[in-house]
A and B are shown apart, each in its own frame.
Chain A
Amino acid sequence: AQSVTQLGSHVSVSEGALVLLRCNYSSSVPPYLFWYVQYPNQGLQLLLKYTTGATLVKGINGFEAEFKKSETSFHLTKPSAHMSDAAEYFCAVIVGGYNKLIFGAGTRLAVHP
């Protein structure tokens, strides 16, 4: 069965520092992977997704993620954190009839001056 594990429920970085949010997946078939962000009092917004093709995927707001099959990982990075990046980030995999997202537990990112 497919599953997603996010290492670190809370991550804190300084403004301008590298952001690295970790996601590992378990899947018996080629996975389709997603990162969503949730700002306070808002819904989940898609940051980026990997389906096929290039393993380095660029998303909105300067974020990118790399699919590494050998490591079963899909870590999210951003070279330089901004205060507005403070939010909760969810990694997810799509399964079944391509209709059901399976989410990780989420990582809350704090950015301090």
Chain B
Amino acid sequence: EPEVTQTPSHQVTQMGQEVILRCVPISNHLYFYWYRQILGQKVEFLVSFYNNEISEKSEIFDDQFSVERPDGSNFTLKIRSTKLEDSAMYFCASNLAGGLNEQFFGPGTRLTVL
């Protein structure tokens, strides 16, 4: 069964460093998402991406964040200069046609900023 994959499963970085979190969505899906979950808090929407551009972003998704689909398979989230408060589990999701279609989630990348 096709699934969303994410790498790495755990990333440790120093404050101020750049990190890139990688996701491979399901191959025929067209809509891509990033969510995050700070330990003990809710899963929060960050950004949605369709047709090679951001379709919606939350207030969390400031200038330090960017997303890219560099090739036909990967979908990346870059944090330019990490802060302590960026420590969280980051989930990638995709779906075929947006809307009410099920979003399929990856297993997440745990980011720890020291």
Measured CB to CB, the residues of A under 8 A from B are: 32, 36, 41-46, 49, 51, 90, 92, 94, 96-106
Contacts and interface: CB of A to CB of B under 8 A. Distances in A.
Nearest to A98: B99
A102 B100 contact: no
In this complex, which of A44, A51, A94, A99 has the most chain B Cβ atoms within 10 angstroms of its Cβ? A99
Interface residues of B, number: 27
Given A44-B43, A105-B41, A106-B42, A99 B102 contact: no
B42 A104 contact: yes
Interface in B25-73: 31, 33, 35, 41-45, 48, 50, 55-56, 58
A92 B42 CA distance: 10
Give the secondary structure class of A's interface: strand
B75 interface: no
In this complex, which of A32, A92, A103 has the most chain B Cβ atoms within 10 angstroms of its Cβ? A103
B91 A44 contact: yes
A54 to B, nearest CB: 15
Interface of B: 3-4, 31, 33, 35, 41-45, 48, 50, 55-56, 58, 91, 93, 98-100, 102-108
B102 A90 contact: no
Contact of A51 (B35, B44, B58, B100): B100
Given A44-B91, A44-B105, A106-B42, A100 B100 contact: no
Contacts of B41: 105
Given A46-B102, A92-B43, A106-B43, 7 more contacts: A43-B105, A44-B93, A45-B105, A100-B56, A101-B35, A101-B45, A101-B103
A99 B91 contact: no
Contacts of A104: 42
CB-CB nearest 9 A-B residue pairs: A43-B105, A44-B105, A103-B43, A98-B99, A99-B48, A43-B107, A100-B45, A46-B102, A43-B106
